[in-house]
């Protein structure tokens, strides 16, 4: 096995020592969570990545300590996610844990940059004839190539959900570091996914809507729609300004079939599509019996269809059937996160109702009670072995959605119960089954499925620990809400019942848990 360069190895060894159990015994729970997230991330970077170009192994054997295969772009994205989650927690705890921040922050910022640079091995360029335009794109293929920028990306070699996961993490990376290339790339990927929206018109002049799994597929999936909503809302927040120009060209179809375009503001188009995608997925893929989301709607025809308008062939609409497939946790998780973001930015009651219903349904449908030695656990879906599925990461998507939903989950406490169960399961595995700072996918039963793991799964655990730390800190942030005349508000009463909160740009907020300035009751309020 080829190891990482010396700086990575030294940082890994440092955190093996600094995140020991005795140190955690005296640390607040949020700090212990963050230390564990750092330790798992460092361990995984050492075991599941190789070389200066950070090639990611598909699997890692904890017994022989060897990696094999090459991961696709989707698992690679989990490395970006884990680093962003750790950085998000570090920013929150900068004052409470200055030494840890000093030791870790710049190292994770630098490694995030290296991960981004080496993402180029999955990048390729091709020309796509979409529903409303023909354009050349440089996006990310499923498989890693041997050279930067030379990945295969035509047909089924790229899928929209991979671009959406990357878009999400690059928006987070930009918000955490201010590095403009992250924003540029995230914007491009968002535009590419929007270009995949089926804007063909039905007999009543309405768009069919929905984004297919990829440009080479006609089926429309939960995972190729909902993951885009949250980053679209974030991008709208970033671009929104009083003097924001109309400089984003959007292509669409007129009733006579003509393709045309218009210049739009980024913030307006992104919020418009966040709402449209949400509405489409809720209509087409929500299982009203279980309250969670189906996997997909299959297509009537398998081959991509085209129609010629003038001299250009455009992609044509293909009908889809009804919803089908397994109800995976991540497909409900992305919609729960989307609901939280749309509620945050619009304050509309329908999103609050959806959020509370999804929290309840997710807990009841996906978690199962299990009692061991007098202790009750709630276990979330897993796979028979680490190489047979992706439920570990799927659960991570749902867990981070509970973090986003928690401030608004006022009709029941299912978000709290769910997050507590994730905490309990991770801690049990850490205390009983830890191997060189790696956890088994069977958190309660341990390594009963063998010695093989995936970096994909380990990075999901790292992100979960970091976001649990973020959640714990956000629960305490209401204590830091003060008016400009230094009078402390009663957070629970003020936030829930008394005042409306607005951003300085006039957007209504139902719960100001993100750092920044708000207007409440005629006063400026700082959330620190």
Which tokens in the block code for residue 113? 């940059």
Residues 278 and 367 in one domain: yes
Segment holding 5, helix H or strand E: none
Residues 342 and 205 in one domain: yes
pTM of the model: 0.87
Residues 468 and 501 in one domain: no
Residues 173 and 62 in one domain: yes
**pLDDT digits over 456-490, tens only?**
999 999 999 999 999 999 887 643 443 333 334 44
* Domain assignment present for 252: yes
State how far the alpha carbon of 252 is from the alpha carbons of 134, 145, 492, in Å: 12, 34, 45
Backbone φ, ψ for residue 330 (5° rounding): -70, -25
Q: DSSP per residue over 33-47, as a string? A: HHHHHHHHHHHHHHH
The list of the chain residues with pLDDT below 70 reads 1-28, 477-528
pLDDT for 5: 45
| Inter-residue contact 459 to 44 (CB < 8 Å) | yes
Burial of residue 273 (number of CB atoms within 10 Å: 0-12, 13-18, 19+): buried
Domain count for the chain: 2
Residues 48 and 184 in one domain: yes
pLDDT for 411: 78
* Domain assignment present for 304: yes
pLDDT for 283: 98
Residues 502 and 431 in one domain: no
Residues 470 and 489 in one domain: no
* Domain assignment present for 237: yes
Residues 145 and 195 in one domain: yes
Residues 137 and 223 in one domain: yes
* Domain assignment present for 194: yes
Expressed as residue numbers, the domain containing 507 is 481-528
Residues 447 and 490 in one domain: no
Residues 43 and 81 in one domain: yes
pLDDT for 447: 96
* Domain assignment present for 385: yes
* Domain assignment present for 398: yes
**165: nearest Cα among 330, 45, 391, 380:** 330
The domain spanning residue 52 has which CATH number? Answer: 1.50.10.20
* Domain assignment present for 296: yes
Q: Can you tell me whether residue 96 is helix, strand or coil?
A: coil
Residues 507 and 419 in one domain: no
* Domain assignment present for 1: no
Which tokens in the block code for residue 294? 């189906």
């Amino acid at each position: 096995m080829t190891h990482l360069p010396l700086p990575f190895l030294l940082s890994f060894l440092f955190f093996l020592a600094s995140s020991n159990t005795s140190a955690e015994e005296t640390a607040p729970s949020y700090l212990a969570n963050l230390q564990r997230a750092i330790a798992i991330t460092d361990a995984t970077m050492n075991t599941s990545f190789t070389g200066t170009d950070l090639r990611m192994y598909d699997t890692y054997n904890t017994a022989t300590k060897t990696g094999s295969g090459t991961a696709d772009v989707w698992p690679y994205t989990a490395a970006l996610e884990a680093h962003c989650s750790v950085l998000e927690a570090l920013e929150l705890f900068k004052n409470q844990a200055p030494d840890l921040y000093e030791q870790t922050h710049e190292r994770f910022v630098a490694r995030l940059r290296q991960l981004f640079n080496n993402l180029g091995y999955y990048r390729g360029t091709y020309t796509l004839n979409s529903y409303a335009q023909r354009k050349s794109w440089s996006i990310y293929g499923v498989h890693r190539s041997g050279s930067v920028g030379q990945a295969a990306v035509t047909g089924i070699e790229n899928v929209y959900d991979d671009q959406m996961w990357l878009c999400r993490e690059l928006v987070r990376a930009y918000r955490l570091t201010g590095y403009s290339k992250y924003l540029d790339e995230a914007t491009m990927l968002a535009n590419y996914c929007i270009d995949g929206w089926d804007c063909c018109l039905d007999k009543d002049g309405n768009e069919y809507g929905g984004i297919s799994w990829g440009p080479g597929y006609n089926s429309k999936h939960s995972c190729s729609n909902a993951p885009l909503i949250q980053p679209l809302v974030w991008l709208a927040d970033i671009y929104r300004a009083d003097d924001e120009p109309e400089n984003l060209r959007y292509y669409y179809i007129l009733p006579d079939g003509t393709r045309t375009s218009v210049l739009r503001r980024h913030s307006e188009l992104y919020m418009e599509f966040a709402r449209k995608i949400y509405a489409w997925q809720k209509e087409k893929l929500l299982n009203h019996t279980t309250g969670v989301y189906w996997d997909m709607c299959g297509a009537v025809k398998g081959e991509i269809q085209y129609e010629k308008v003038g001299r250009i062939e455009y992609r044509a609409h293909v009908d889809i059937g009804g919803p089908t497939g397994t109800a995976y946790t991540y497909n409900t998780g992305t919609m729960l996160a989307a609901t939280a973001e749309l509620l945050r930015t619009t304050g509309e009651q329908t999103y609050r109702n959806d959020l509370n219903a999804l929290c309840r349904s997710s807990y009841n449908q996906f978690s199962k009670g299990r009692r061991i030695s007098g202790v009750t656990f709630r276990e979330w879906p897993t796979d028979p072995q680490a190489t047979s599925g992706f439920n570990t990461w799927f659960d991570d998507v749902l867990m981070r959605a509970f973090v986003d939903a928690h401030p608004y989950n006022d009709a029941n406490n299912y978000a709290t119960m769910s997050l507590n169960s994730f905490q309990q399961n991770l801690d049990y595995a850490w205390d009983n089954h830890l191997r060189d700072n790696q956890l088994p996918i069977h958190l309660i039963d341990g390594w009963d499925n063998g010695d093989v793991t995936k970096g994909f799964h380990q990075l999901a655990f790292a992100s979960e620990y970091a976001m649990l730390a973020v959640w714990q800190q956000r629960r305490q942030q209401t204590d830091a809400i003060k008016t400009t005349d230094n009078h402390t508000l009663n957070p629970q009463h003020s936030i829930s019942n008394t005042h409306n909160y607005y951003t300085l740009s006039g957007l209504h907020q139902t719960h100001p848990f993100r750092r920044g300035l708000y207007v409440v009751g005629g006063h400026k309020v700082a959330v620190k």
